[in-house]
Chain A
């Protein structure tokens, strides 16, 4: 992209070779081996048993719920991330550094806590619990709780992709567009959004992967009701606890596959665009 960075030197001599071997070996041990185990275990009783694991109604319900949660959490986080990054990068206001810190908070918070706070708020003995019960609204041990837990865990992911990029790009292009007669919405749609689309896409994919894979927070608020409040990660755990190893690893394959698809989608989309505007 920029011509100012020097090209990396090609590998020569023993030290680079050792380092590269170490890095590859470490990756193989830490990422490659577990991944291979998941696949081997999932297919250990043949393709038929593997596929049968997805025909179970509970498995299908878990997949549906996982997709639903991601479909709600990701767009909301994208909207928030854009708004937060826009205001932080393009405007000066009081409390800006506080906002930056708060956005990062979920990253340093244990997911269990991210789940528990919702129980404290909306659980049967929580602050709003009795009121919600009176209104007949169920949040904890139901889908709304799972969505809230997921959003809390994934809220920084898109904003953090966008903030540094938008800050670096500054506001001059927007100012130029305004003096050329463009209104606020037009400026956003035709200047701001296209300038951050790769970071946004990257953030969305990351957020999506995390939303579908979140275990800790969801585990606290879900209540583990099979076929109703179990997402894929919870389903994997439940099957594993039932000694259904093929089923557990088959579902795990699905989650792992999702990660691979995410990465492939990202690189395919990036390659489809001309280099000059990336």
Chain B
């Protein structure tokens, strides 16, 4: 089974200063200076795939792992980590343009690589990713490939005969079902949320490995054409004002501060019927 995990590296939005959140036409948020992190849902997907491969291998199913990202050089350190963790295949598609609000183009590139280059059987990716946060990419990839898609996946394990037992959060409960690849799994609030850390030995052993760098044309995509298929156009950004009074209570000890909070707000709220 050829497993492909698609991931995105984003700025750490929590590290941005208040002044960087710029409202106005288009997207003028300044984020170049902050550190890059894995999209949290993609991070779960990367770890889930490692665990799935281990479980499949124990069951004598041959499973290979690949990682794919659409982006620039900022993704390279993450590929080094993935190589050290045992991902055998790695590719980066350089789109040559920002695709933050271009889910159709992103999906076309991911699907093009899975179909034309990697010949994947199973595709894992986060259920949504910033800054666009549309949550549409997994479904668009599934449409491109003609595969079924399960979303809000929280766990996946082998189910015999190359089937997979998938757990996902549905509108009305927790859903367990068996699926036979090919399919797309969009990872949600997975129980597994952190990517493991490779050993230094593993890092050194695979330090020469690099991700293949591809252009959109290499996966059969013309971005000039896909741009006309984008499902929506960003017109501008607005700030969200969540500010409140922020009155700092006095006190030198936890007990003194608790007493001030208690008298100001807590006592009344607790006592109110």
Q: Does A pair with B?
A: no
A contacts, CB < 8 Å to B: none
B contacts, CB < 8 Å to A: none
